[in-house]
Chain A
Amino acid sequence: MTVPPEVLGDALSRDGIETLREGRLVIACPRSERQIKALLTRAGRDGLRVVPAGLLSKISGLRPEVMEGDVDLVLSLRNLSKVIDFVPGDGTLTAQAGCIWSDLGRTVRESGLQLPTDMPLPSRTTLGGALASGMSGPDRLRRGPLRHHVLGAHVILSDGTRAKSGGRLVKNVTGFDLHRLYTGSRGTLCVLIEASLRLFPTPEETCALTRPCADAAEAFQLAEDLRRRHVDPLSVTIEGGARDPWRLHVVLVGRQVELPSALARASEVLGDAERIEGADAHNLRAELRDRVCHGGAWAQLRLSGPPARTHLAHAMLARFLGNDPLWRVVAQPGVASLEVFAPTLAAHTVADQIALLNDLRATLTDSGHRLEPIALPGATHLGLAADLAGDPARRWMRNLQRRYDPLGRFTCPSYPGRAPTLGATS
């Protein structure tokens, strides 16, 4: 059921809930758990489709243009922004979901600690949004993805019950790791209201090596050579495209005494690379972190697969997108991820996008790769997702969705490969 936004907005304001509007979307910003529960009760009563969110900066499914028509109410957690518990001596942090990632970073920095990942666009990202989107920064190569460092969470389920899992401890196996299930669930299971993270010591030194490459193949080959030589960088990024030259960036961190040998080893592989140190190295690290968003726009596609075969995925991709004069890639070969900017693709009709991506996907699947649409219309996401509806893993996901949200109150147009028949038992 679609309630006219102005009617819904007025009603929420009368209930004392701060409400914003973005186009036809109503964004409710509750200030308490009680208000969240009230919103969910209303959603249940009025049959509203709700999507929990932070600042609406992250995943494509939460971009206003994708959501319109598919979502009645955005439940933004931005007003729940307290740090609940920071224990420097234990290296843990517990905070409400609306805390801004960069603010949390500042909180822990004074104690020589840092958050578990270099989250892209940290000043536009909430803790809850980061977790729900399942995103991690390029430093995941060394540290692993964010989801590995979530120690516990408190959530509100669609029926208004509050539930916790895990805890605030760096080691703990008590009960199911539901916080792992919620991380990356893009708000389709529950509203994340609080989470605990493991922190890492801030490295003494950061430096980077960066060099141009003749083509993508050379860049991928160098990345693989680094891996074979067991160089252990914080991140490796390759970028380039139809109009941009190819470059390889390697960021190294560690103790002061340790870095020279790491640098020497990396330099042996990379040859004539430019060495960047001090504040410049920190700046480059931050720029690489934000590369997933190019010129203010998210990539259209993400490809992932076995790390050793990222170059193959890239080669196939190049064949498919070769006609796009604007296509561009940001790859993290060690973690097998390729962000693909293909603005011309976005200009195609939905039907053409689906046809092209289905072809591309069929080719990629053979080499063990997966294709995920990001900044493309919700209809494209759904068109592709329907193909996978029969997969037993999808069935498990749908069953989970049904048990956590029996009335289908939470929605994310693209996720998790929602079958058109959502609601029917399989």
Chain B
Amino acid sequence: MALPYLEELRAIVGDAGLVTDRAGRLAYESDALSLEKQLPELVVLPLDTAQASAVMRVLSKHGVPIVPRGAGTGLAGGATPVAGGVSLSTARMREILEIDPVGRTARVQAGVVNAELTRRAAPHDLFYAPDPSSQAACTLGGNVANNSGGPHCFKHGATTRHVLGMIVVDADGEVIDLSHQGPDPDGFDLIGLIVGSEGMFGLVTEVTLKLVPIPDATETILAVFPSLDSACDTVTEAIARRLEPSAIEILDELTIDAVERSVFAAGYPREAKAVLLLECEGSAAEVEATSADLTELCQEHGCLEIRTARDDADRRRLWAGRKGAFGAMGRIAPDLYVADVVAPRTRLREIVRIATDICHERGLKVSNVFHAGDGNLHPNISYDRRDTDEVRRVLEAGELIMRACIERGGSLTGEHGVGLEKQEHMCHLFDESDLDAMRRAREALDPDLRMNPGKMIPIRGCREMRTPEPMPQGDDR
């Protein structure tokens, strides 16, 4: 491989910090959205901010595009390499630099795995609240870039509410130190802008995160429903009654079946059409009162059975089923398209039904497991990528689901990000001037557009995209 910058990079990160051979690079050709693939020219794995900065200066000199990469669990193609570009991985930046139990903060390198932070904070009676289902693998840097959520974000909020500071290296290798932020930003809220920016402003190398005290009491409830509709209605009503559990998740029949047939089997009743997984946390009295309210509400909505986790082990088992649900879907078909859309919480039932109908009309198998309390739906379509017609139907269904959500006041993505997958759909939600405002931020912070180029913001203008392309000659559609 004759890359003009290779030896300069080797001098910075050494052989251990480079993946040059084709077989090694193949592991980086996509993230968890395996429909999009591109082999990176090179993978560079710096150890810390200083190395990242030096690497990025070299890449800047050579005008090379950079794609930041955490664990590659992203589902929107955000970490998919770009042609002629380098993947900059945080896989070797795995140190928890400091845990301050009094200040309740943690300072970590971007490559630290989400669940590891909670494990290390536990002896201080603290935990890190955002808990994506992928938390055993995904990195905190990836969480920051995607503003990731998780079941407990219903109470605690998504990643953006937990980031207190960070260090970012821009495309030219300049280190932007935002780690000493007070309660309010010093000047513009750059942190608020960077969280969720999908690696398009720079490489986040360090993050200071808020930790949350482990609650005195926790109760996990599994409510069994005779229909998905009644489970959705229960959630809508829980929000309207202003009940405040810490998590409200729905799993439907097909998901339950897949989970129960997998290693994640949690004891969900197989005859259920849907279950609600609810968690309450706080003081013992608060938990007891909120659980009683939720139980009553579930019963009012025709719930067939309520189970409460007996102990910690039981509770962990119930959550393992939820968090392992995507993995368990492998039992339904070899491939899974995880749609990620948002609905206003007053319209959950309606939008879940529409999504189901869209899939069934196309002969597709759809299952639902989602963060119902936040209106964040995941209609998951199981398919086989070798069947090109099925792939076409899956993508069509995905687009129609997105449009249906938007028409009803919803949004394109609740937590997985836009990446490559939804880039072209941005015009359904935003118009050209909205996107232009986003481009301004991008051009201000990365004028050469070398950070994760070709992601999120559509390359073609919205007007151009809305104009139907002429039918190709001979096309018989």
Contact = CB atoms under 8 A, between A and B. Distances in A.
Interface of A: 87-91, 112-113, 134, 136, 140, 144-145, 147-148, 155, 157, 161-165, 167-178, 180-181, 183-185, 189, 201-202, 224, 227-228, 230, 232, 254-255, 257-258, 260-262, 304-308, 332, 335-337, 368-370, 372, 392-397, 399-400, 402-404, 415-417
A178 B153 contact: no
A258 B215 CA distance: 13
Contact of A171 (B178, B244, B414, B429): B414
Q: Which 10 A-B pairs have the closest CB atoms?
A: A304-B182, A180-B192, A416-B187, A201-B242, A163-B437, A258-B286, A403-B444, A308-B103, A171-B374, A399-B444
Nearest to B159: A173
A271 to B, nearest CB: 21
B207 to A, nearest CB: 15
Nearest to A157: B437
Contact of A175 (B176, B177, B290, B426): B426
Nearest to A179: B192
25 contacts: A90-B345, A91-B345, A134-B185, A145-B184, A164-B430, A168-B344, A171-B374, A175-B430, A175-B457, A177-B147, A184-B185, A230-B125, A232-B213, A260-B285, A261-B285, A304-B182, A308-B102, A337-B182, A392-B170, A393-B187, A395-B174, A396-B176, A396-B445, A397-B190, A403-B441
A176 B441 contact: yes
Contact of A370 (B102, B182, B456): B182
Contacts of A392: 170, 174-177
B196 interface: yes
A163 B462 CA distance: 14
Interface string B436-461: 11101111110100000000110000
B100 interface: yes
Contacts of B376: 171
Contacts of B375: 90, 169-171
A307 B102 CA distance: 9
B161 A148 contact: yes
Contacts, number: 238
Interface stretch (B25-33, B88-96, B306-314, B405-413): B405-413
Contacts of B236: 89
Contact of A176 (B125, B193, B213): B193
Contacts of A337: 182-184
Interface of B: 100, 102-105, 125, 146-147, 149, 153, 157-158, 160-161, 170, 174-178, 180, 182-190, 192-193, 195-197, 213, 236, 239-240, 242, 244, 282-286, 288-290, 342, 344-346, 371, 374-376, 409-418, 422, 426, 429-430, 433-438, 440-445, 447, 456-457
B213 A400 contact: no
A174 B188 contact: no
A179 to B, nearest CB: 8
Contacts of A415: 187
Contacts of B182: 304-305, 336-337, 369-370
Contacts of B443: 403
A258 B289 contact: yes
A90 B184 contact: no
A394 B184 contact: no
A403 B288 CA distance: 53
Contacts of B188: 181, 184-185, 189, 396-397, 400, 416
A134 B192 CA distance: 12
Given A175-B418, A175-B456, A396-B444, A89 B149 contact: no
B190 A393 contact: yes
Nearest to B426: A175
B415 A173 contact: yes
Nearest to B416: A173
Contacts of B440: 400, 403-404
Contacts of A232: 213
Contacts of B184: 134, 136, 145, 184, 304, 337
A181 B376 CA distance: 24
Contacts of B345: 89-91, 170
Contact of A148 (B157, B197, B445, B457): B157
Contact of A258 (B178, B282, B410): B282
Given A173-B414, A396-B445, A145 B183 contact: yes
B192 A181 contact: yes
A286 B44 CA distance: 54
Contact of B433 (A136, A162, A417): A162
A178 B195 CA distance: 11
A258 B444 contact: no
B195 A230 contact: no
Nearest to A164: B434
B411 A172 contact: yes
Given A175-B438, A257-B286, A396-B445, A181 B196 contact: no
Given A171-B376, A177-B160, A403-B441, 4 more contacts: A169-B411, A170-B374, A173-B146, A397-B187
Nearest to B200: A176
Contacts of A185: 188-189
A228 B126 CA distance: 11
Contact of A394 (B146, B187, B195, B374): B187
A257 B433 contact: no
Contact of B344 (A87, A140, A262, A395): A87
A163 B242 contact: no
A148 B160 contact: yes
A164 B180 CA distance: 30
B349 to A, nearest CB: 13
B189 A180 contact: yes
Given A134-B189, A177-B193, A165 B283 contact: no
A393 B176 contact: yes
A171 B153 contact: yes
Contact of A396 (B104, B190, B239, B435): B190
B425 to A, nearest CB: 9
A171 B155 CA distance: 12
Given A369-B182, A402-B444, A181 B189 contact: yes
Contacts of B426: 174-175
B283 A228 contact: no
B438 A176 contact: yes
A170 to B, nearest CB: 6
A126 B172 CA distance: 40
A48 B374 CA distance: 45
B252 to A, nearest CB: 20
B411 A262 contact: no
Q: Which of B285, B438, B442 has the most CB of A within 10 A?
A: B285
A64 B411 CA distance: 41
B367 to A, nearest CB: 21
Contacts of B433: 161-163
Contacts of B192: 147, 177, 180-181, 183
A255 B442 CA distance: 45
B429 A261 contact: no
Given A167-B411, A172-B342, A393-B176, A399 B445 contact: yes
